[in-house]
Structure 1
Amino acid sequence: MKIMINLIKNFLTVLLVFATIHVDAAESDIVLGPGDVLRISVFEQPDLSLEVRVSESGTITYPLIGEVKVGGQTPAAAERKIAGMLETGGYLRSPHVNIIVAQLQSQQASVLGQVNRPGRYPLDSAKSLADVLALAGGVAPEGGDLITIVRKVEGGTNREVVDLASMMRDGNLAKNITVAGGDIIYVERAPRFYIYGEVQRPSQYRLEHNTTVIQALAMGGGLSLRGTEKGMKIKRRDSVGTIQVLDAKHDDLLQPDDVVYVKESLF
């Protein structure tokens, strides 16, 4: 019977080690921080099992050993630290500590603006900008190509703008940055232009990449029966807010918030 009990214990120990290795592989790149909720257990020591939240100073209070600094460490490193403190304190011999991250509050990114599912998303592993946008359901139909990332840095904040469409067109993934906890990702609304006057469908339209005046005219349904391509104008606001009226040529490229006016034919 004693041999059988020892065999069962050894088998359970192997299972625990395997489970710990599996968790370590899945969470190897998670860094613990304030607000995270941890479930901590020690093999064959049920009195040492507890659920605890990491404090703002990055510490937890654990039975027998008191305050433990876990902020900035991976779960695997925190497991080794607690096990070492239990052993050096003379409480247990070769303890097997297991940590499961029940809630990952410290490592979250906020995704706002024109996405299908705005919200806060946990970074339970290393995630790129494209990964986090995918978690948020991708860019919504009203979303534009420009993505703004705001992150805290020492002494303030840093703002970076990524042209998602350009990155995809060029295949340059250097801008597909790794998102960090606390980052704010904002997807801007797609720029618009306006067309009115003698067109079939005067309205506002999404300004696609390199949209020309003649393309804008087509998007507006073409000329009305009284319209003419001669004398078309572009109303554009300059950097100081003054509206300029420009002669519109077919191949002129439109800018955000341009207003295209199509005149009535005199004949």
Structure 2
Amino acid sequence: MENIMKKGRLLIMFLALLWITGIANAATGEKKESVLGPGDTLKIFVFGQPDMTTEVKVSEAGNITFPLLGEIFVDGLTPSEAERKIVKLLESKDILRKPQVNIITASLQSQMVSVLGYVRNQGRYPIEGKRRLTEILAMAGGIIPDGAEQITLIRSNGSKYVKDIIDVLEMIRSGDLNRDLNIRSDDLVYVERAPRFYIYGEVQRAGVYKLERNMTVMQALSVGGGLTQRGTERGLRIQRRGEEGNLQILTVKSSDLVEPDDVIYIKESLF
């Protein structure tokens, strides 16, 4: 219970840091804009020119079709950059003088990230502007109780894919947001199942439990409700897989650390 309360306090501190960061970004005038790409749907308005108001979809070639201008390449531009490009084209072709163009992204299909694994809502999510890892996790409903504290991020790096492991709990504890990485289009965020351990024999609640970081055998016993009246801590045994996959039976002390997939067996007292 104490560990859970500590984690809760750390999470509150972390959210406060995110809030402060957001205020700082707003103060510096940082504007988050996504770049356009194939599949995006845009609504384009020209002030005072209702005939030019149109809704278009960016083609696979990265073009849109606009009245009187034909095809315009917008792939890789932000909406603001696309607005300025249309303004210049309208002026250079003597179609309008000082036109006011406004682009609204109706849907962003080109900038998507996949979030899979032990999160509340798996799926693909749009990246509207700059999004950090914690923001994407929040969009997916957060990590569920059975999820791990380490996040796997897989992204394309040219001709190959690169895997990065981000320790979210350590990031919260240290307050170091440098590992709260910016998410890019087509990134894959995967939350693995948290490591588990098994406990059976003379305990109150035999079963499978989430393995907390640096958990000792004594703490594992308390998670299982403690010993029954017939149980004894003498001769505690753990069944553990070795590095080569061979099964080992180890005699341990209550202060020893539990490892992932350990099976703890509590014997019955003879007296």
Matched, 1:131 2:135: yes
Q: Verify the 8 A CA contact 2:36 2:79 in the aligned structure 1.
A: yes
Question: Structure 2: which 5+ runs fail to align?
Answer: 1-28
Tell me the alpha carbon deviations over residues 76-121 of structure 1, each in whole angstroms, 9 at most, x when there is no partner.
1101111111221222222221111000111222222212222222
SS at match of 1:61: strand
The correspondence for 2:104, drawn from 100, 104, 107, is 100
Which residue of structure 2 aligns with residue 218 of structure 1? 222
SS at match of 1:84: helix
Whose Rg is larger? 1
RMSD over aligned Cα, in angstroms?
1.7
- Return closer, same or farther for 1:56/1:228 CA change in 2, 3 Å cut-off: same
Tell me the alpha carbon deviations over residues 123-182 of structure 1, each in whole angstroms, 9 at most, x when there is no partner.
222121111111222211221201111112210211111111111111121111111121
CA shift for structure 1 position 254 = 0.8
Which residue of structure 2 aligns with residue 61 of structure 1? 65
Matched, 1:48 2:52: yes
SS at match of 2:199: strand
SS at match of 1:40: strand
Counterpart amino acid of residue 126 in structure 1: K
Q: Verify the 8 A CA contact 1:28 1:75 in the aligned structure 2.
A: no
Residues 99-178 of structure 1 aligned to structure 2 (within 5 Å): 99-178=103-182
Q: Verify the 8 A CA contact 1:236 1:257 in the aligned structure 2.
A: yes
Task: Tell me which stretches of 4 or more aligned residues in structure 1 moved more than 3 Å.
Answer: 25-28
In 2: Cα distance, 1:82 partner to 1:217 partner:
68
Give TM-score, length-normalised by structure 2.
0.85
Q: Percent identity?
A: 52
Which residue of structure 2 aligns with residue 83 of structure 1? 87
In 1: Cα distance, 2:93 partner to 2:127 partner:
34
In 1: Cα distance, 2:86 partner to 2:30 partner:
20
- Return closer, same or farther for 1:212/1:139 CA change in 2, 3 Å cut-off: same
Q: Verify the 8 A CA contact 1:28 1:74 in the aligned structure 2.
A: no
- Return closer, same or farther for 1:28/1:186 CA change in 2, 3 Å cut-off: closer
Which residue of structure 1 aligns with residue 238 of structure 2? 234
Counterpart amino acid of residue 269 in structure 2: S
SS at match of 2:183: coil
In 2: Cα distance, 1:150 partner to 1:157 partner:
7
Q: How many residues align?
A: 243
CA shift for structure 1 position 27 = 6.4
Counterpart amino acid of residue 103 in structure 2: I
Which residue of structure 1 aligns with residue 76 of structure 2? 72
Give TM-score, length-normalised by structure 1.
0.86
Counterpart amino acid of residue 258 in structure 2: L
Which residue of structure 2 aligns with residue 9 of structure 1? none
Counterpart amino acid of residue 213 in structure 1: V
